[in-house]
Amino acid sequence: MTALLAALVGNPNAGKTSLFNALTGSRQKVGNYPGVTVERKSGRLALPDGRIAELVDLPGTYSLSPRSPDEAVTRDMVLGRQAGERRPDAIVAVIDATNLRNHLRFVLELRRLGLPMVVALNMVDLAERDGTRIDVEQLSRILGLPVVPTVAVRRRGLTELAAEIGPLLGTAPATLASPEADIRLLQREARVIADTVTAQHGAAKRWTQVLDGVAMHPVAGPLLLIAILFVMFQSVFAFAEVPMGWIEAGIAALQAQVSALLPDTWLRSLLNDGVLSGVGAVVVFLPQILILFLFIILLEQSGYMVRAAFIMDRLMAGVGLNGRAFIPLLSSFACAIPGIMATRTIDDPKDRLTTILIAPLMTCSARLPVYTVIIAAFIPATNVGWFGLQGLVMLGLYVFGVAGALVAAWALRRTVTKGPTPTFLIEMPKYQWPVPRDIGIGLWQRAGAFLQRAGGLILMITVVLWALASFPKPPEGSAVTPLSYSAAGRIGSALEPIFAPIGFNREIAIALVPGLAAREVAVAALGTVYALDGDEDQVAQSLVERLRGSWSLPTALAFLAWYVFAPQCLATLAVVRRETGGWKWPAFMFVYLFAMAYLAAGATYWIARALL
């Protein structure tokens, strides 16, 4: 058991995560700090003296006065106030060699604590490339701290850094001094130190400025952003199809195995129709989510994401949000759950809450199966100009969702999340090549988190819904389908009067009940309501025929409009509860989304009926 604990602390963009990945490799533990949802990343650090220390990567922050829940964890950890956590035995302060003036200010603040500390002078290669020479010995002497030059992405300076950490462990004082200080004085001291230890020879290479000339150009910038988003969504749909086919085939093979091994009892139905098809329906989105995350990680690590936030800020400001909200909202196109988790970087609480509340309006990949079936059934495959009508309707649903989110944000900011206009103040880091090791570790951790959820909460919910949809069984020879006879069917029938005014029939009302677990389950549920058998593709195909025969066009359009807003994802509501610390906001979210879905579906139904 490791008794030694060292913590990585530093400004955002100091290359802290790269250094952490390089020091600990892929054997990292990702969990949560007790009581808060901030991610806790730690790994094993082998010291040259043979001891093993635990290294924890604290959230990046500019100072010990936190502005977001993430940054509060960093402060509480170094002060030893974080519940359930030990105070670290030593601090590794990571600073960017190309931005000494600002990063040294934080080192000076941390130094006041009196904790044993070593400074990792990271990205020295970039400083050299910019013609900046740093006198490391002099810097170490002035600070009174060991300073080790490192290049995390090229694994330079790692052994030297570990060698400096070793002797520090076990030398911490019993009590810490207060880090409180006048920030202006620290700033000035940092500037003097930075100017003393650096010498400029030759001109800096200004790659970042050249690239920003395009990325932040008033005309070219937005066009570039649109082009990047277009390529991203195209890739998500184009490249995910094949692996999704493999996952579907794998699940079907498992189901066939179960059918071959078990007699036709409730147990087989539970495994096949409950567990495998329920969890399978979620796991099948893994390829899409991974591709989307790959893009998001690339955009984040290269430094472009902040430029996108800059370009989008004016539009977001119009509805009372902040450019930073763009990043979580973009993730929500894959799945609202990681999107909602990504709102932790937004410092203003009202701003963050609004972003959480509108995140489910971004068209997540779970809505696609529903859209695909309804569009195939009711929208003719003709062309409008150069574009297919079906594709245009799909695009229209995405746009409808985004527009709905903007309207909702505007309304929320004026009512329930009313507060002062949030400020937008953001550092634009220099552009960097993404590091394959960091991308790999990032994707691996996100895939793990997604699969864990599919195996936990979603599994439980699908089993409960399976039971509701399977029992009680209709008597032998009955004409009603088993689903209509079951508890879920009865709940659906009871709900029918609520949905009749917006053009939904009894079958839809019944399908909405099991569809509560996850949106895509509604397709399978409709298949069951119409008593269709076979695998998912067959069901989808024959379902298209069946729906064409039994739904009117206004009903189909109303159903699409419903799904743009419908709050039908228990996993999202569960995450909102965790992130907001209670049932109040998930309940509010459910009610407001339900109301929006109801109004949108109703309006669509009646307008379509009047026109067609």
Partner 1 sequence: MRTLNDLRRGERAVIARIAGVGGDEITVRRLHEMGFDDGVEVEMLHRGPVGGDPLALRVGSMVVGLRKALAGMIEIEAAAAFAEAAE
Binding residues (CB under 8 A) for partner 1: these are 62-63, 65, 67, 98-102, 105, 183-184, 187-188, 191, 208-209, 212, 216-219, 221-222, 306, 309-311, 313-315, 317, 323, 421, 423-428, 430
CB of 585 to partner 1, least distance (A): 24
Query: CB of 117: closest distance to partner 1 in angstroms?
Result: 20
Of the pair 40, 430, the CB lying nearest partner 1 is at 430
Q: In the complex with partner 1, which residue's Cβ is closer, 156 or 191?
A: 191
**Residue nearer to partner 1 on the CB measure, 213 or 497:** 213
Smallest distance, partner 1 to C-beta of residue 230, A: 18
Contacts of 477 (CB under 8 A, 6+ apart): none
Smaller CB distance to partner 1: residue 99 or 301? 99
The answer for residues whose C-beta is within 8 angstroms of residue 330's C-beta and 6 or more apart is 229, 296, 308, 339, 362
Closest CB 215 distance from partner 1, rounded Å: 9
Q: Which of 393, 152, 434 is nearest to 293 (CA)?
A: 434
* 281, 536 contact by CB (below 8 A): no
Pairing of strands 387-388, 383-384: antiparallel
CB 99, min distance to partner 1, A? 5
Give the sheet arrangement for strand 39-46, strand by strand. Answer: 28-32, 39-46, 52-57, 4-10, 90-96, 117-122, 147-149
Question: If we measure between CA atoms, which residue out of 414, 395, 442 comes closest to residue 321?
Answer: 414
Dihedral class, residue 286 (left if φ above 0, else alpha if ψ from -120 to 50, else beta) = alpha
Closest CA to 309 of 323, 297, 298: 323
**Minimum CB distance to partner 1, residue 340 (Å):** 24
Q: Which is nearer to partner 1, 57 or 348 (CB)?
A: 348
For residue 218, what are the contacts with CB-CB under 8 A and spacing of at least 6?
A: none
Cβ at position 426, least distance to partner 1 in Å: 5
Nearest CB to partner 1, comparing residues 430 and 446: 430
Provide the CA 391 distance to its chain's centre, in angstroms.
Answer: 27
In angstroms, the CA 521 to CA 311 distance is 37
* Least spacing, CB of residue 186 vs partner 1, in Å: 9
165 versus 327: smaller Cβ distance to partner 1: 327
Measured from the CB atom, the residue of 73 and 104 that comes closer to partner 1 is 104
At its nearest, how many Å lie between partner 1 and the CB of residue 13?
Answer: 9
Min dist CB 411 to partner 1, Å, is 22
Q: Give whole-number Cα distances, 86 to 6, 90, 387, 514, 580, in Å.
A: 10, 11, 60, 45, 26
Nearer to partner 1 by Cβ, of 67 and 155: the residue is 67
Q: What radius of gyration do the chain's Cα atoms show?
A: 28
Closest distance of CB 106 from partner 1, Å: 8
CB of 450 vs partner 1, minimal distance in Å: 32
Instruction: Show the tokens assigned to 565.
Output: 């807003």
**Residue 305, token pair as written in the block:** 């994401």
Q: Residue 539: what are its φ and ψ, rounded to 5°?
A: -60, -45
Nearest CA to 491 out of 472, 504, 473, 509 is that of 509
Strand extents, DSSP E, 33-142: 39-46, 52-57, 90-96, 117-122, 132-134
- Would you say 65 or 259 has its CB closer to partner 1? 65
Alpha-carbon distance values, 87 to 5, 79, 380 (Å): 8, 7, 65
Give 182 or 264: the residue with its C-beta nearer to partner 1. 182
Q: With H, G, I as helix, E, B as strand and everything else as coil, classify residue 548.
A: helix
Q: CB 420 → partner 1: shortest distance, Å?
A: 9
Residue nearer to partner 1 on the CB measure, 324 or 546: 324
C-beta closer to partner 1: residue 425 or 611: 425
Task: Retrieve residue 101's tokens.
Answer: 């003036």
**Which two three-digit tokens encode residue 274?**
């409950």
| Beta strands 117-122; 90-96: pairing state | parallel
State in angstroms the smallest separation of the CB of 430 from partner 1. 8
Q: Measured from the CB atom, is 208 or 432 closer to partner 1?
A: 208
Phi, psi angle pair for 4, to nearest 5°: -100, 135
Report helix, strand or coil for 68. coil
Contacts of 288 (CB under 8 A, 6+ apart): 236, 237, 240, 244, 334, 365
